[in-house]
């Protein structure tokens, strides 16, 4: 999952390795230098050298030390900059790939999960990968090199002190690894709980009008607080265990320094080591212990990072059910004949929504579908765009099964306007242009006029450059529907699907729009789903659906006399009025 994102940047890793080695060499040379300075000073005092002569012997060490400080500071700045650059570059590539993977998922995946939870997982994975990379480059490389160099130089100078200084290392690393394994499952539960909180917040923000309408602000705040307290308790359980381990680190290192000081003092008094050597080892011990401490202290963050990456693994590896065929057929010049052949489908296994649905829409004709809620009308429309594939049967356009077409080719030839049309937090111009990014402003205006949207847009202070707000909240339902219609009209597809596309319009606007749509649908294959029967009276054919089946078909006049269910719908809506 991660390697493809790192692959383009792997060539930088040897440079980081070399940089880490040089920085470690600079760091390890410091205790060696001040140990040497102490021995030089003690020798000068012991030999009774003058201040000038003695200080002259110390100056070269000080000059070297100053050069090391300048070199280490400069290289560290460059190293940090490029490690940030590398981490952001790789995590940026990863999150783009993850975003693409998520957008390729079946629409059913989005309808079964909270958008807030999905966004939280994506954001955590992005952040997690950044921390893992930065920990490897910024911590593991440098601290690992410091540890190895300090230990190597230590063994070269005095193997006894070096061996003793190594004793605490396995204990500390063992504690960290054991705790890491013990906390892995609990950390995953914590991550799930945080996602639940974000999912709830996303739901509330999306339904803010209902929250305010029923005065639920305090109740939602209380729910949030309760969820947050539980998440915090779970997180603190993990953190508490890590804090105990950190305490164990500190105690182990203190004991390690004490043992080294005792052994070093013994060797100095015995004449087998100098005071400078003891000071060097105390400095080396600081590097050894601090390096292991930094490596170990990064484990909690690494644990969270891996947990967050694992949380998106399912989405990353999930193969969409709806995807392009290996060798897709391409519709070049669509005539518009649409056939539904023996379709059966359901959202839940064993619970069908559509049962053996068959009908043909000749090219250029308008077919309408009516029926009670839940009869399968919208499902049928969405299957024409392959949002879902049927359990049985097939849909064809001009005799070609839509499963043999690329999704791009299919959906560019079928325009869908739904009952609920959510817009992007962008200008009206860009929201309409979504269907055809290359469209000129003149083309956008023409499409808006045909959708009866130009008049209200022109009255806005910024006109087509008015930002509509998230999900189009600054516009009425009817205004959003007209913009959605304009969007589809701009795309100018040969097949048009209108799923309750005028349901949010007032009677006057609907009447005007129906006239415009009549012109638009001339010579264009159209499938219209409607509850309001007055909007589909002039359709070439009207299909009546009941419990997932087409139970009758005909013109408005024919159905009034031949189908009791359609007549019942008409009488309820129009009170017996006939055109």
pLDDT in tens, the chain (579 residues): 655 666 666 677 788 888 888 887 887 777 777 777 777 777 777 777 777 777 788 788 888 878 888 888 888 888 888 877 777 777 777 777 777 777 777 777 777 676 667 777 777 777 777 777 777 777 777 777 877 887 787 777 777 877 777 777 777 777 767 666 666 667 667 777 777 777 777 777 767 766 776 677 888 888 888 877 877 777 777 666 666 666 666 666 677 777 777 877 888 787 777 777 777 777 777 777 777 777 766 666 777 777 777 777 777 777 778 888 888 888 888 888 999 999 999 888 888 889 999 999 999 899 999 988 888 888 888 899 898 899 999 999 999 999 999 988 998 899 888 776 678 888 999 989 988 888 899 999 998 988 888 988 999 889 999 998 877 778 887 788 888 888 888 888 899 998 876 665 667 767 766 766 776 777 889 999 887 787 788 889 999 999 889 999 999 999 988 988 988 888 887 654 444
Q: What is the DSSP string of 275-322?
A: HHHHHHHHHHHHHHHHHHHHHHHTHHHHHHHHHHHHHTHHHHHPPPSS
SS3 371: strand
Q: Are 380 and 361 in contact (CB under 8 A)?
A: no
Q: Are 184 and 303 in contact (CB under 8 A)?
A: yes
Q: Where are the alpha helices (DSSP H) in 366-417?
A: 377-384, 407-413
Q: What is the DSSP string of 133-199?
A: HHIIIIIIIHHHHHHHHHHHHHHHH-HHHHHHHHTHHHHHHHHHHHHHHHHHHHHHHHHHHHHHHHH
Looking only at Cα atoms, what is the longest distance across the chain?
127
Q: Are 134 and 84 in contact (CB under 8 A)?
A: yes
pTM of the model: 0.66
Q: Are 557 and 526 in contact (CB under 8 A)?
A: no
How far out from the chain centre does Cα 182 lie?
28
Ramachandran bin of 398, using left for φ above 0, alpha for ψ from -120 to 50, beta for the remaining angles: left
How far out from the chain centre does Cα 326 lie?
28
Closest C-alpha among 353, 325, 474, 490 to residue 417: 490
Backbone angles phi, psi at 396, to 5 degrees: -125, 150
The partner residues of 401 in beta bridges, in order of sequence, read: 396
* Strands of the 495-499 sheet, one edge to the other: 414-417, 495-499, 525-529, 366-371, 541-546, 549-554
Rounded CA-CA distance 306/428 in Å is: 41
Q: Give the DSSP H/E element, type plus range, for residue 432.
A: helix 428-433
Residues ≥6 apart with Cβ < 8 Å to 540: 362, 365, 366, 367, 555
Q: Which two tokens stand for residue 339?
A: 């056939």
Rounded CA-CA distance 79/398 in Å is: 61
Rounded CA-CA distance 464/484 in Å is: 14
Q: Which two tokens stand for residue 15?
A: 């440079």
User: For position 6, what pLDDT does the model report?
Assistant: 61
Mutual angle of helices 13-47 and 275-297, in 10-degree steps:
150
Residues 240-258 pLDDT 10s: 666 666 666 666 667 777 7
Q: Give the DSSP H/E element, type plus range, for residue 229.
A: helix 217-270
Rounded CA-CA distance 558/542 in Å is: 10
Backbone angles phi, psi at 538, to 5 degrees: -100, 10
Q: Which two tokens stand for residue 402?
A: 């839509």
* Strands of the 338-345 sheet, one edge to the other: 354-361, 338-345, 392-397, 400-401
Rounded CA-CA distance 515/520 in Å is: 9
Rounded CA-CA distance 224/193 in Å is: 12
Q: Are 159 and 81 in contact (CB under 8 A)?
A: no
User: For position 289, what pLDDT does the model report?
Assistant: 73
Residues ≥6 apart with Cβ < 8 Å to 318: 105, 109
Q: Are 100 and 44 in contact (CB under 8 A)?
A: no
User: For position 297, what pLDDT does the model report?
Assistant: 66
Q: Which domains, ranges and CATH numbers included, belong to the chain?
A: 3-317 (1.20.1560.10), 338-574 (3.40.50.300)
Q: Which two tokens stand for residue 33?
A: 């230098």
């Amino acid at each position: 999952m991660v390697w493809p994102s790192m692959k383009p940047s792997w060539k930088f890793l040897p440079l980081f390795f070399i940089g880490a080695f040089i920085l470690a060499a600079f760091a390890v040379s410091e205790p060696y230098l001040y140990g040497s300075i102490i021995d030089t000073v003690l020798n000068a005092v012991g030999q009774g050298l003058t201040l000038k002569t003695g200080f002259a012997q110390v100056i070269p060490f000080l000059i070297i030390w100053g050069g090391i400080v300048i070199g280490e500071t400069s290289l560290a700045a460059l190293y940090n900059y490029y490690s940030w650059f590398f981490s952001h570059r790789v995590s940026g590539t990863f999150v783009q790939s993850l975003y693409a993977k998520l957008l390729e998922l079946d629409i059913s995946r989005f309808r079964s999960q909270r958008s807030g939870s999905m966004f939280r997982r994506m954001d955590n994975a992005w952040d997690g990968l950044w921390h893992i990379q930065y920990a490897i480059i910024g911590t593991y490389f440098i601290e690992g090199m410091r540890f190895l160099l300090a230990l190597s130089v230590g063994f070269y100078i005095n193997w006894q002190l070096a061996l003793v200084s190594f004793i605490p290392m396995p204990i500390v690393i063992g504690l960290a690894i054991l705790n890491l394994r013990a906390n892995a499952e609990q950390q995953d539960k914590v991550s799930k709980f945080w996602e639940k909180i974000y999912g709830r917040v996303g739901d509330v923000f999306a339904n803010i009008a209902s929250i305010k309408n029923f005065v639920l602000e305090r109740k939602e705040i209380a729910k949030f607080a309760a969820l947050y307290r539980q998440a915090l308790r779970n997180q603190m359980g993990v953190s508490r265990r890590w804090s105990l381990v950190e305490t164990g680190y500190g105690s182990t290192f203190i004991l390690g320094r004490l043992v080294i000081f005792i052994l070093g003092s013994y060797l100095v008094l015995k004449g087998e080591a100098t005071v400078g050597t003891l000071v060097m080892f105390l400095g080396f011990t600081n590097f050894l212990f601090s390096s292991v401490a930094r490596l170990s202290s990064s484990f909690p963050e690494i644990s969270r990072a891996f947990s967050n990456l694992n949380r998106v693994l399912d989405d990353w590896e999930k193969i969409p059910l709806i995807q392009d065929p290996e060798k897709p057929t391409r519709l070049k010049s669509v005539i518009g004949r649409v056939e539904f052949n023996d379709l059966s489908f359901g959202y839940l296994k064993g619970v069908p929504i559509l049962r053996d649905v068959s009908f043909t829409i000749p090219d250029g004709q308008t077919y309408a579908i009516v029926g009670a809620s839940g009869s399968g009308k919208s499902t049928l429309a969405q299957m024409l765009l392959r949002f879902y594939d049927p359990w049985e049967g097939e849909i064809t356009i001009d005799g070609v099964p839509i499963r043999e077409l690329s999704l791009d080719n299919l959906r560019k030839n079928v325009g869908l306007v739904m009952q609920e049309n959510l817009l992007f937090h962008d200008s009206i111009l860009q929201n309409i242009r979504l269907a055809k990014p290359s469209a000129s402003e003149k083309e956008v205006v023409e499409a808006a006029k045909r959708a009866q949207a130009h008049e209200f847009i022109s009255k806005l202070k910024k006109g087509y450059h008015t930002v509509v707000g998230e999900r189009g909240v600054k516009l009425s339902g009817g205004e959003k529907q007209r913009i959605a219609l304009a969007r589809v009209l701009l795309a100018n597809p040969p097949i048009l699907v209108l799923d309750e596309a005028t349901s949010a319009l007032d009677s006057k606007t609907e009447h005007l729009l129906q006239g415009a749509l009549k012109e638009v649908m001339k010579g264009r294959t159209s499938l219209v789903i409607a509850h309001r029967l007055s909007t589909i009276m002039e359709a070439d054919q009207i299909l009546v659906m009941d419990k997932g089946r087409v139970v009758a078909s005909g013109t408005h006049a024919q159905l009034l006399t031949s189908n009791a269910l359609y007549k019942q719908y008409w009488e309820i809506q129009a009170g017996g009025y006939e055109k």
